[in-house]
Amino acid sequence: MSVVTEHESEWLYGLRWLARIWSIASIALILLFVFGEEFNLAKIANKELVGFLFFPVGVIVGFIVAWRREGIGGAITIASLLAFYFVYGFLMNGRLWQGGAFIFFAAPGFLFFAYWFFFHFLLEIKVEKRNH
């Protein structure tokens, strides 16, 4: 349901829905890239398979989890993106930077995490004000 939850400000509500809508768009585009041509998992080299597990698999799993648990899902997405850049990019290919498109597609994970952080941070402030 699309309602502002208790203790959720309107801008947090907007942030949550921006993250959700962007995550759907990212998933759709990622799946188009992956399955737009004939996809044969057997033809992917082991080295590329490691990268594939972090991006897009880990990123998409993070998005799905974030629809219910924004902090955990955002953390999964961010960790998968960082692992993709570090493990696949740096350790396996010798260069950390793999391009900015990966960050753009994973950006909803940062938004989900920001939502979770600010929601809990602002909730703590409200609770403290009420107790004093």
pTM: 0.87
- On the question of pLDDT at 48 being above 70, the answer is yes
- Residue located via tokens 């602002």: 122
Domain boundaries, the chain: 10-34+47-131
Tens digits of residue pLDDT in 101-130: 999 999 999 999 999 999 988 877 766 667
Band of pLDDT at residue 34, cut at 50, 70 and 90:
confident
